Amino acid sequence: MIRPDARANDQLRPISFHPNVAPNATGSVLVGFGDTRVICSATIEEGVPGWMRHQRVPGGWLTAEYSMLPYSTHDRKSRDISRGKLDGRSSEIQRLIGRAMRAVVDLQKIGQRTLWIDCDVLQADGGTRTASITGACVATAIAFNRLLAEGKIKDFPLKKLVAAVSAGIYEDTPVLDLNYLEDKAATVDCNIVMTEALELVEVQGSGEEAVFTRAQMDSMLDLSTKGISEIFSLQKMAILNADKAEPVDFAALLGTFGKH
């Protein structure tokens, strides 16, 4: 079996992080998983939701929003606002992003503030939810570093890094990090979210008019563990170098993607 892009079965697509692409956000990054590109931003706002104030819940809150821009897919995708409601897929993904980030953020340490995570898909080629979680973690770490530098918080609220990757059964073979062609043809599709301690945060898996065995599930988990371990190294480098990054020429930056 040869994959459409000739990768090994356990090989990630090229992954890139370009920080500070949204100057008005507290932290931001443009993340690329192959030809999938997502802008992830973390914005800190003073204050918490009304239900927290009314119930006198201590600490802060974290929430996420996810959207695919109309030109992110081959056929134009209508904006949610034009339909008058958020589509089910977008709602499910942004809840997933929020759960993944709340698993690793100590909300007590951000004080009475709200952390907004926004993930906007510029180009979709499979794995937009996993790229969004992975990029959201980097953007959040950059934002917290900024708050620390400004003296607005005393302790770093991110307990661990979190990242995600897809795995699936493609042509009867377990493979890592599916692109669109593989995702469309896969008989099984899984999305795995882990912390840097390799603890599972969430496992989403389903057969596409097919079933799969425990052995196949174990193979996909093994592939995901290997891939996510590699992603953590890239995340750490991106976070460490964020303050050293040059101001972003966005047009030029977009042109760098796809040159693998």
pLDDT of 56-80, one tens digit each? Answer: 888 899 999 999 876 676 666 666 7
In a domain, 53, yes or no: yes
Show contacts of 168-174: CB within 8 Å, 24+ apart.
168/220, 169/210, 169/212, 169/216, 169/220, 170/1, 170/3, 171/1, 172/1, 173/1, 173/9, 174/9, 174/216, 174/219, 174/220, 174/223
On average, the pLDDT of the chain sits at 91
> Range with the lowest mean pLDDT among 155-169, 179-193, 235-249?
235-249
- Domains in the chain: how many in total? 1
Which pLDDT value is given to residue 69? 77
In a domain, 40, yes or no: yes
Look at the block and give the residue holding tokens 């979190």: 162
In a domain, 258, yes or no: no
Q: Phi and psi at residue 241, in whole multiples of 5°?
A: -95, 5
Domain CATH number, residue 161: 3.30.230.70
In a domain, 239, yes or no: yes
In a domain, 5, yes or no: no
Residue range of the domain that includes 113: 15-243
Which pLDDT value is given to residue 222? 98
Show contacts of 56-60: CB within 8 Å, 24+ apart.
58/108, 59/107, 59/108, 59/109, 59/110, 59/111, 59/112, 60/107, 60/108, 60/110, 60/111, 60/112, 60/113, 60/114, 60/115
Binding residues for phosphate: 89, 127-129
In a domain, 4, yes or no: no
Binding residues: 89, 127-129
In a domain, 237, yes or no: yes
In a domain, 1, yes or no: no
pLDDT band at 7 (very low <50, low <70, confident <90, very high): very high
